[in-house]
Amino acid sequence: MSQPADHFKKLVAHCKEYGFIYQSSEIYDGLSAVYDYGPYGSELKNNIKEYWWKAMVQMHDNIVGIDAAIFMHPKTWKASGHVDAFNDPLVDNKDSKKRYRADQLIEGAVEKLQEKADKEVEKAKKRFGDSFDEKLYRETNPRVVGYLQKATDANNRMNAALTAGDMEALKNLIEELEIACPESGSRNWTDVRMFNLMFNTQLGNIAGEEGKLYLRPETAQGIFVNFLNVRNTTRQKLPFGIAQIGKAFRNEIVARQFIFRMREFEQMEMQFFIRPGTQQEWYEYWKSMRLKWHLALGTPAEKLRFHDHENLAHYADAAVDIQFEFPFGFRELEGIHSRTDFDLGAHQELSGKKLQYFDPETNENYVPYVIETSIGCDRMFLALMGHALTEEVVGDDEGNTRDVLKLHPALAPVKFAVLPLKRNEDALVNKARAIFDTLKLSFPGQYDDTGSIGKLYRRQDAIGTPYCITVDFETLDDDTVTIRERDSMAQERVPVAKLEEIIGKRVDMKQLFV
């Protein structure tokens, strides 16, 4: 189902209003592209991480987890190529003084050309009706062919320029495509120049280049430098993986779109070490495993798609994104990269330590190849929240709507809420408290008697609580309660003794793995 145009704005407001995400240091007017997770946000984020960790580490006896430090020896980033090649091309508009990523401006122009072609096709479809042959039209209509050809040419030239590090070619392309600043409408651009995305700081009191430390821009390198430690201490045989969840930092040139692109964010990464020559097979395996992970949450298949990289990162021989249809279009959610022996090979060379594996089957020593899966926890959060937040009409009255967060119950921050029908009746309150105190031993929940039942339901819907339990006078007589399911709003009378089983069935993460 497509979402209304203002959905993204509404999502951002909802995240703040209900304690999911706040702007960092808001009392000082905030820090650009840095965010804090509130009470429900931190619970949801923890659940996402737990789901990933269970899927990657617990469900695979040949994958182990680590938690490496954010600070690493600076040589790490020289070997990994980040000091020399972790750059984005930036360009400033001289009139608006706004800064942009040159490649993103060009990609935007390419998308516009493609949209123009699509519009022509739509118009023709209406004109010709049933007899319309879309494929033939796309291949032969001069206007459509022209737009698509121009888009393909621009894309190819951009990729070639990025690969060659040719900033002048990028600037020429911006001019030829007549790209205007979205802010000022002006085409008065500076030259394009490269900008390194790593943040740096100083180690202790060592000044200058010698004491220069970087905040890691990816968690992967903490895994590579520990390859030998983990191999020697766990006796894992190839193929095996090392997983890690942790913070990463990038001085993004353009950090817009809420938590989609942040300067401090969290990654969930896994490096899978394999025998050279088997990378194609494992690449396909991890593509399918990771897609399954997303689909198990109930995300509709049409909201996810694979997108092969045309412009490969400096370490990869193949790379694909799992893209998700965010409110602003299909964008990268996760990357799966065939990293060859680039990282281990480079660390071996610079450190002088042998980072090899003796393969008892082939009697050979070699530097393993690597397939990486890498997903941003915050981006996953945005994808889930964006898809889950639904405004719907309740009953037949168009004016009666509710905002409901249809998160998978296994990920919902709060699993149940106990609501006494009246707050001033001691017997009801005591009973409701007793039910809450028992259930909280098993699930995160809430006790709430601060409003009418209708209002309390709406509040729980807005934070995605799968079950509301109402305690009324009948409960005092027969020990039954009304349990209301979030999505269907169906209400059922059930014995108190059954609550744990009913809730447990819906919120257990196990169901995501069967």
Sequential DSSP letters for 373-412? EEEEHHHHHHHHHHHHEEEEE-TT-TT-EEEEE---TTT-
Residue 296 CB, shortest distance to ligand GAP, in Å, is: 18
Alpha-carbon distance 255 to 251, whole Å? 9
Residue 375 CB, shortest distance to ligand GAP, in Å, is: 5
Which one of 369-377, 403-411, 469-477, 494-502 is the stretch in contact with ligand GAP (CB under 6 A)?
Answer: 369-377
Sequential DSSP letters for 264-278? EEEEEEEEEEE-TT-
Nearer to ligand GAP, 303 or 422 (CB): 303
Nearer to ligand GAP, 264 or 425 (CB): 264
From 88, 103, 378, 448, residue interacting with ligand GAP (rule: CB under 6 A) = 378
* Cα 196 versus chain centre, distance: 23
Which one of 55-63, 70-78, 138-146, 330-338 is the stretch in contact with ligand GAP (CB under 6 A)?
Answer: 330-338
From 218, 341, 448, 461, residue interacting with ligand GAP (rule: CB under 6 A) = 218
Interaction with ligand GAP in 435-494: which residues (CB under 6 A)?
A: none
Which one of 63-71, 153-161, 265-273, 493-501 is the stretch in contact with ligand GAP (CB under 6 A)?
Answer: 265-273
Coil, strand or helix at 113: helix
Alpha-carbon distance 157 to 343, whole Å? 28
Nearer to ligand GAP, 295 or 476 (CB): 295
The site that binds ligand GAP (CB under 6 A) totals a number of residues, namely 19
Reference 379, options 334, 413, 411; nearest CA is 334
C-beta neighbour count of 450 within 10 angstroms? 10
Q: By beta-carbon distance, which residue lies closest to ligand GAP?
A: 376
Alpha-carbon distance 185 to 181, whole Å? 5
From 41, 222, 246, 376, residue interacting with ligand GAP (rule: CB under 6 A) = 376
C-beta neighbour count of 251 within 10 angstroms? 16
Nearer to ligand GAP, 320 or 367 (CB): 320
Residue 373 CB, shortest distance to ligand GAP, in Å, is: 9
Nearer to ligand GAP, 252 or 485 (CB): 252
C-beta neighbour count of 119 within 10 angstroms? 12
* DSSP percent split of the chain into helix, strand, coil, nearest 5: 45, 25, 30
Nearer to ligand GAP, 341 or 372 (CB): 372
Whether residue 464 contacts residue 444, with contact meaning beta carbons closer than 8 Å, is answered with no
Nearer to ligand GAP, 101 or 261 (CB): 261
239 upstream amide cis, omega within 30 of 0: yes
Reference 271, options 324, 341, 202; nearest CA is 341
Q: Which amino acid is at 104?
A: Q
Nearer to ligand GAP, 376 or 413 (CB): 376
Coil, strand or helix at 430: helix
Nearer to ligand GAP, 103 or 218 (CB): 218
From 11, 242, 262, 483, residue interacting with ligand GAP (rule: CB under 6 A) = 262
Whether residue 361 contacts residue 350, with contact meaning beta carbons closer than 8 Å, is answered with no
Reference 39, options 53, 19, 24; nearest CA is 19
Alpha-carbon distance 213 to 72, whole Å? 7
Q: Is 347 near ligand GAP (CB under 6 A)?
A: no
Nearer to ligand GAP, 317 or 332 (CB): 332
Residue 26 CB, shortest distance to ligand GAP, in Å, is: 19
Residue 103 CB, shortest distance to ligand GAP, in Å, is: 14
Reference 33, options 322, 378, 267; nearest CA is 378
Alpha-carbon distance 453 to 467, whole Å? 13
Q: Is 153 near ligand GAP (CB under 6 A)?
A: no
Q: Residue 323's beta-bridge partner residues?
A: 305, 332
Residue 334 CB, shortest distance to ligand GAP, in Å, is: 5
Site string for ligand GAP, 232-261 (x = CB under 6 A): ------------------x-x--------x
Residue 164 CB, shortest distance to ligand GAP, in Å, is: 21
Alpha-carbon distance 63 to 47, whole Å? 20
Q: How far is CA 350 from CA 5, 212, 225, 315, in A?
A: 51, 18, 11, 16
Q: Is 265 near ligand GAP (CB under 6 A)?
A: yes
Nearer to ligand GAP, 374 or 475 (CB): 374
Q: Is 500 near ligand GAP (CB under 6 A)?
A: no
Sign of the torsion angle spanned by Cα atoms 25, 29, 35, 40: positive
From 334, 341, 343, 472, residue interacting with ligand GAP (rule: CB under 6 A) = 334
Nearer to ligand GAP, 194 or 476 (CB): 194
C-beta neighbour count of 271 within 10 angstroms? 28
Nearer to ligand GAP, 337 or 431 (CB): 337
Residue 16 CB, shortest distance to ligand GAP, in Å, is: 19
Residues that bind ligand GAP (CB under 6 A): 218, 220, 250, 252, 261-262, 265, 267, 269, 332-335, 372, 374-376, 378-379
